[in-house]
A and B are shown apart, each in its own frame.
Chain A
């Protein structure tokens, strides 16, 4: 059992921190980037590709690097520390993860090769208006005509759906179950309407109307379990990203308490404030522990164990992230309400991550169904 990085992992962390920090330690630069479409820096995306970051999760035969979950978690934490807007989580971890898990060798080579090289952005079109979180599709349906498949229905919100070169779309299959399809961004019968999200991200309404689509992997196969597992892995990586953002928020808050003066003294003179900062630290460390653990479970556990670990990590990240975020704003005071100061936007981003694949209460509901089935949790027995 070990919770420390080895030299290579430290080197990866430092390299990504250097690249991402150079761009976004200056918060004003992020504001400018997210102020214009596509909401991220295409050149930074290329630099991430050159560093090998975009291909990190994918095996070498598919054009990737073949790194493990710990390395991907490191990248997510570093992106979270500056809330870098590049769509690593949505495009590489989630959409790319689905292609990696379900695609044929040819599809993987083509789609993931382009993604790893920074030549392509992927998006996963899955959420449907009126539905909650889950691995299935209902309102977008797939129809088959010979070897041809077509999709009809509306997906929204689709993160980075307007910019994406290729969409991975989930759809209800004619014989039941949920399939995955590749849809080209310029396909006929595809209407995309993009917009900004409150954290400077991008999302889109994606309307499909008999749109031609290529089944991902075996045509007609129910991929619900695959989607569920990739969503679980993405939950854990979103937790890593949130952890990075929480670390920055605590640092910003303690720095502010030490420098801001009121009543002629710095704010850290007031125990009412420093004790709340201490509680933020406690939330942060507890979250750090669960995020690290769940990241390790990806490599060590069965899909069921990964699902449970993802739910547990998400629950803690939700609770801890809201606590740290809300307190960061309160302890800063009015300055954190302004758009030109970074703290409020970090909290906005944490809120977006919290609702990406199920918030804390959703996870309590998931975990509640099984709580009577085991005696106690042994975190080392995975």
Chain B
């Protein structure tokens, strides 16, 4: 008969089409969960869970805790701190970290420049930068976007001109996230203006204390200072700080952006936020005798979001299970698109749950309003960025329609 008691015939045939993790992966998951919930500062995790801004010191402390345990850069080459994990283990590591409210390792270091240096750097560059990149003793900033080079990154205009043993850099970068904390900035510069735009770009590693380099804050719609402009005026960069060959920067940039899209769907964090929304709805009065979770419309909205997140998480698992040793699963391109949409939708739900209190973003400790209700709107506004960065969601649709559907 077919039913819940049915013996799974696939069990006899190996591991096709089944949900259960292997004992090894199960143990791995327990190990990760235990570490993240017991070894990383409770105060930092609580701040992440409640959506509060972290200080530079907290971000560094958290990454150093991970790095000491070999959990900051597991995807790097093993020689430089990588762990040789399976794709599934990396997925579990990433999900459990988010679920516990552990800040994920600084993306500029761990996901972006680290793997690029490991792949394209000289031995001197690797030895000089990689250990400090993993430990966040160097805080990297990203110098890619310019005022006239957003999605069309290759049209960038910041120049580097050779002068003796140095490159002399002039121009302007923008949207440099947390550039105010940056020690070094990996920067795409134009080294040959005469050729096709992609062919004249190089990547320079630039010390942000260099004379002529200036970081100027950009205030955002959430009231915070998260991104910056970085100006270069005759900044001298030693020639040994070019990463990769001259005029090969577009290759490194594509490699970096390809890595950026992996793990860009913050499923674990969005699940945690939705679960929190449910708790908050349960403890927030509807103004009468009930709570917000008694409202059938609120319940229905949560059900729909949970289901869409479940579909996304399962898609991520399908991709992970598929990519063991092969080409990336085509469905990976939906992860960024859908992941950011759901991240935004949950942040929007929280604003609506906060109701009239959501306006009180500037209220201090003397406020009678719940503290969560005062932070949700800035978060919602801040997260509008998610469908713009990392290859805007329209770029993702372009990738799907061209590369997957052949349109």
Cα A302 to Cα B88 in complex, Å, equals 26
Known: A3-B17, A275-B401, A292-B314. A300 touches B3 (CB 8 A): no
B107 contacts A by Cβ under 8 Å: no
A367 contacts B by Cβ under 8 Å: yes
Measured between beta carbons, the chain B residues less than 8 angstroms from A287 are 311
Per-residue 0/1 for B78-100: is the Cβ within 8 Å of any A Cβ (1 yes, 0 no)? 00000000001000000000000
**Nearest chain B CB to A214 CB, angstrom units:** 19
Interface residues of B in 222-253 (CB under 8 A from A): none
B20 contacts A by Cβ under 8 Å: yes
Interface size on A, residues (CB 8 A): 73
- A1 and B10 contacting across the interface, CB-CB below 8 Å: no
Interface majority SS (helix, strand, loop, mixed), chain A: helix
A179 contacts B by Cβ under 8 Å: no
Per-residue 0/1 for A1-38: is the Cβ within 8 Å of any B Cβ (1 yes, 0 no)? 11111101100000000000000000000000000000
B381 contacts A by Cβ under 8 Å: no
Residue of A nearest to B281 (CB): A372
Per-residue 0/1 for A100-120: is the Cβ within 8 Å of any B Cβ (1 yes, 0 no)? 110000001000000000000
- A286 and B9 contacting across the interface, CB-CB below 8 Å: no
Cα A275 to Cα B272 in complex, Å, equals 30
- A296 and B317 contacting across the interface, CB-CB below 8 Å: no
A337 contacts B by Cβ under 8 Å: no
- B6 and A68 contacting across the interface, CB-CB below 8 Å: yes
Per-residue 0/1 for B374-401: is the Cβ within 8 Å of any A Cβ (1 yes, 0 no)? 0000000000000000000010111011
Known: A1-B18, A3-B318, A312-B310. A368 touches B303 (CB 8 A): yes
The segment out of B150-158, B292-300, B357-365 that lies at the interface is B292-300
- B338 and A282 contacting across the interface, CB-CB below 8 Å: yes
- A286 and B334 contacting across the interface, CB-CB below 8 Å: yes
B306 contacts A by Cβ under 8 Å: yes
- B17 and A289 contacting across the interface, CB-CB below 8 Å: no
Known: A6-B14, A287-B311, A293-B314. A377 touches B334 (CB 8 A): no
- A277 and B6 contacting across the interface, CB-CB below 8 Å: no
B31 contacts A by Cβ under 8 Å: no
- B17 and A70 contacting across the interface, CB-CB below 8 Å: yes
Measured between beta carbons, the chain B residues less than 8 angstroms from A57 are 1-2
B209 contacts A by Cβ under 8 Å: no
Measured between beta carbons, the chain B residues less than 8 angstroms from A377 are 271, 306, 309-310
- A300 and B337 contacting across the interface, CB-CB below 8 Å: no
Cα A8 to Cα B11 in complex, Å, equals 13
- A4 and B311 contacting across the interface, CB-CB below 8 Å: no
Known: A257-B407, A292-B17, A293-B19. A4 touches B321 (CB 8 A): yes
- A364 and B300 contacting across the interface, CB-CB below 8 Å: yes
B127 contacts A by Cβ under 8 Å: no
- A297 and B310 contacting across the interface, CB-CB below 8 Å: no
**Nearest chain B CB to A252 CB, angstrom units:** 12
Measured between beta carbons, the chain B residues less than 8 angstroms from A271 are 398
Per-residue 0/1 for B253-292: is the Cβ within 8 Å of any A Cβ (1 yes, 0 no)? 0000000000000000001101100100010000000000
- A372 and B10 contacting across the interface, CB-CB below 8 Å: no
- A368 and B19 contacting across the interface, CB-CB below 8 Å: no
Known: A6-B14, A300-B20. A285 touches B334 (CB 8 A): yes
Known: A290-B310, A290-B311, A364-B303. A1 touches B9 (CB 8 A): no
A315 contacts B by Cβ under 8 Å: yes
**Nearest chain B CB to A151 CB, angstrom units:** 25
A134 contacts B by Cβ under 8 Å: no
Residue of B nearest to A10 (CB): B16
Tell me which of B19, B304, B402 contacts A379 (CB under 8 A): B19
Measured between beta carbons, the chain B residues less than 8 angstroms from A376 are 271-272, 274-275, 306
Measured between beta carbons, the chain A residues less than 8 angstroms from B138 are none
Measured between beta carbons, the chain B residues less than 8 angstroms from A254 are 405-407
- A282 and B310 contacting across the interface, CB-CB below 8 Å: no
**Nearest chain B CB to A237 CB, angstrom units:** 9
- A302 and B16 contacting across the interface, CB-CB below 8 Å: no
Cα A330 to Cα B20 in complex, Å, equals 41
- B3 and A230 contacting across the interface, CB-CB below 8 Å: yes
A281 contacts B by Cβ under 8 Å: yes
B302 contacts A by Cβ under 8 Å: yes
- A1 and B394 contacting across the interface, CB-CB below 8 Å: no
- B401 and A277 contacting across the interface, CB-CB below 8 Å: yes
- A69 and B6 contacting across the interface, CB-CB below 8 Å: yes
Interface residues of A in 30-79 (CB under 8 A from B): 57-59, 62, 66-72
A138 contacts B by Cβ under 8 Å: no
Tell me which of A62, A66, A300 contacts B19 (CB under 8 A): A300
**Nearest chain A CB to B43 CB, angstrom units:** 22
Cα A288 to Cα B316 in complex, Å, equals 12
- B6 and A380 contacting across the interface, CB-CB below 8 Å: no
**Nearest chain A CB to B396 CB, angstrom units:** 8
Cα A1 to Cα B312 in complex, Å, equals 16
B315 contacts A by Cβ under 8 Å: yes
Cα A81 to Cα B5 in complex, Å, equals 29
A306 contacts B by Cβ under 8 Å: yes
A193 contacts B by Cβ under 8 Å: no
B15 contacts A by Cβ under 8 Å: yes
- A8 and B13 contacting across the interface, CB-CB below 8 Å: yes
Interface residues of A in 339-382 (CB under 8 A from B): 364-365, 367-368, 371-372, 375-377, 379-380, 382
**Nearest chain B CB to A238 CB, angstrom units:** 14
Measured between beta carbons, the chain B residues less than 8 angstroms from A194 are none
Per-residue 0/1 for A148-179: is the Cβ within 8 Å of any B Cβ (1 yes, 0 no)? 00000000000000000000000000000000
- A290 and B10 contacting across the interface, CB-CB below 8 Å: no
Measured between beta carbons, the chain A residues less than 8 angstroms from B220 are none
Tell me which of A2, A281, A286, A296 contacts B308 (CB under 8 A): A286
- A1 and B21 contacting across the interface, CB-CB below 8 Å: yes
Could you name 12 residue pairs across A and B whose Cβ atoms are closer than 8 Å? A6-B17, A62-B1, A68-B10, A71-B9, A250-B405, A275-B398, A278-B397, A289-B312, A290-B314, A299-B10, A371-B302, A376-B272
Q: Give 15 new A-B contacts, CB below 8 A, not counting A2-B16, A4-B322, A97-B1.
A: A57-B2, A278-B400, A281-B334, A281-B401, A286-B308, A288-B318, A289-B317, A292-B17, A296-B18, A300-B19, A301-B4, A302-B4, A315-B307, A316-B311, A372-B293
- 6 closest cross-chain pairs (CB), A and B: A6-B16, A289-B314, A57-B2, A278-B400, A274-B401, A100-B1
